[in-house]
Structure 1
Amino acid sequence: MQIKKRKDKWNDLFELALYVTAAVCFVYFWVKDIPAKMFEAGLIIAVLLIIRIVVKLTKTTLFAALRFSVLLFIFVSMFLANEFGFYKVIPYLDKIEHLFSGLILCFVGLLIYMKASRGEKTAAPSAQVAIWFCLFFSTAMAGVWEIYEFTTDGLFGLHSQNGSLVDTMTDIICGTIGAVATSIYLAFKAKHRKMPLIDVQS
Structure 2
Amino acid sequence: MEKREARFKKITPVYLTLFWAVHLVLGCYYTARGLPYYAVLGFCGILFPLALRLVYKICRFRPIYQLDFLLTLFFFLLYTVGLDLRGYSVIPYYDKFAHTLTGVVFALIGLIVFYYLKPEKKISEKDLPLVCVFEICFSLAIAALWELSEFTVSLLFGTDPQNVLTTGVTDTMLDILVCLIGTLVVLIPVSFYFKKKRASLLLGIFDVMFHRNIVKEEESTGQQ
Counterpart position of 1:201: 207
Structure 1, unaligned runs of 5 or more: none
Aligned CA distance change for structure 1 residues 175 and 66 (closer, same or farther; 3 Å): farther
In the TM superposition, what whole-angstrom CA distance separates every residue of 1:48-70 from its partner, at most 9, and x where no partner exists? 32222122222134645543332
- For residues 110 and 21 of structure 1, the distance between their equivalents in structure 2, rounded to whole angstroms, comes to 31
Structure 2, unaligned runs of 5 or more: 209-224
Counterpart position of 2:172: 168
Q: Which one of the candidate residues 189, 193, 196 is aligned to 1:192? A: 196
1:201 alignment partner AA: D
TM-score of the two chains, using structure 1 as the length reference: 0.83
Counterpart position of 1:39: 40
Counterpart position of 1:59: 60
Partner-residue secondary structure (3-state), 2:207: coil
Would you say the 8 A contact 1:66–1:107 is kept in 2?
no
Counterpart position of 2:222: none
* Alignment coverage as a number of residue pairs: 197
1:115 alignment partner AA: Y
In the TM superposition, what whole-angstrom CA distance separates every residue of 1:9-67 from its partner, at most 9, and x where no partner exists? 33453333211211122233333333222101112112332222122222134645543
Report the more deviating stretch, 172-181 or 11-20: 11-20
Would you say the 8 A contact 1:4–1:201 is kept in 2?
no
1:190 alignment partner AA: F
In the TM superposition, what whole-angstrom CA distance separates every residue of 1:110-167 from its partner, at most 9, and x where no partner exists? 11112223xx24x844341334322221122212222222233224322111112001
Counterpart position of 1:27: 28
Q: Which one of the candidate residues 184, 195, 218 is aligned to 1:180? A: 184
Is 1:17 the counterpart of 2:6 in the alignment? Answer: no
TM-score of the two chains, using structure 2 as the length reference: 0.76
